[in-house]
Amino acid sequence: MSVIQELVRSEADGSISFGNHKLEKKAKKDNFEHCGDLYKVKTYCEITKLERNGMFVYESVPGTAVSEFVAADWGVEFLVEGDKDVQITVQLEDDTEYGVTVDGMSAGNMATNMGGKLNVSVELNEGSAVKVRIEKRQ
């Protein structure tokens, strides 16, 4: 996986890919249409942020490249790549418990706050993508 030169793109499987953690200056792409929704991406080496229809979806500090991002009723799943360890925040359901898996290993259960945000720390090695899956517990 590598950076997303066009900042955001639709994939054949219905997912999206976004972000470029190699940029020194902030870049953004607004009004990107995907599956009837409008996305906005802001990205560079210090932060990557994704919004859908004006609402927060994803943020990483420092910046990342994300591929195969899928958000559904059950949770989210994506591949993430960056130059160093990253703190990721995703928007999910309010006050709900989720199971978190990072690179196939369970990171345990975590609950969202009243605003529906969940924070996950991910260890990254430059040039290697890590799969993150955050799935709602029944």
Question: Domain locations in the chain?
Answer: 8-136
Q: Is 42 within 8 Å of 49 (Cβ atoms)?
A: yes
pLDDT of residue 3: 77
Q: Where are the alpha helices (DSSP H) in the chain?
A: none
pLDDT of residue 111: 95
Q: Is 93 within 8 Å of 110 (Cβ atoms)?
A: no
pLDDT of residue 127: 84
pLDDT averaged over consecutive 10-residue blocks of the chain (138 residues)? 84 96 96 96 97 97 97 96 96 96 95 94 92 94
pLDDT of residue 1: 55
Q: Is 68 within 8 Å of 110 (Cβ atoms)?
A: no
Note the CATH architecture for domain 8-136.
Sandwich (2.60)
pTM summary value: 0.94
**pLDDT tens digits for range 96-112:** 999 999 999 999 999 99
